[in-house]
Amino acid sequence: MLEDREPTPEEKKEELRLSLNIISWEHTFENFKTVKDAMASLKAFKELADGSSWYILLNYGSNGCGKSYMCDAFSINLAKRNIRCKRWKWTELIRDFKCRLRSGIPGDYDRFFDTIRNLPYLVLDDVVMVKEEGKSNWEWAEFDDIIDYRWEKRLVTIVTTNLDITHLPPRSVSRFRDAVTSRMILNKAEDYRPKRR
């Protein structure tokens, strides 16, 4: 028979890490190995975490330039202040959306979609899709709806992608370009993964 016991501090910390979907507790702003071409991105993530007057960030750049790391650092920074902010990988969120659409539970998809749209803090990491000309794309429509809604409601939103901005929905890009509410930053850093030790 298993006895009920209080989780250890380490177990609680691991449970929180998993619920926030962060890669490592070591992924903090302080631990980020700064390289010149990632400084603008790092500055924007820090500003947003510290409560800037703007509230939407699009950070785009090549693979391995630190975008997911900075998403982790943002979520960790908020967690230290007891603010929950999960890092949602876009592909995982889309799978969850599709599963709920097929669930047969009335209203399940709509309730979950509204929950995502209304989170006080939303991090959408690794938004990847290629727009197909002349074809309706459900994923892009949902993305566009989320961004538009959050822009109107002034909710803190971070999106990262390795796509060129020409592959993103024009309406969303327009909101990312709003000089009052948003920042759109190209992270020009090279892939740091091959250089890690």
Question: Taking 60 as the threshold, does the pLDDT of residue 6 lie above it?
Answer: yes
Residue 12 placed within a domain: no
Q: Residue 83 sits in a domain of what CATH number?
A: 3.40.50.300
Tell me the average pLDDT across 180-192: 92
Provide the whole-model pTM.
0.91
Domain that holds residue 102: 37-130+137-188
Q: How far apart are CA 37 and CA 126, in angstroms?
A: 19
Q: Which residues contact 40 (CB under 8 A, 6 or more apart)?
A: 185, 187
pLDDT of residue 136: 55
Structural domain count, the chain: 1
**Residue 20 maps to a domain:** no
The contacts of residue 137 (CB under 8 Å, 6+ apart) are: 129, 131
pLDDT at 135 (0 to 100):
45
- pLDDT attached to residue 3: 67
Q: Residue 120 domain-assigned?
A: yes
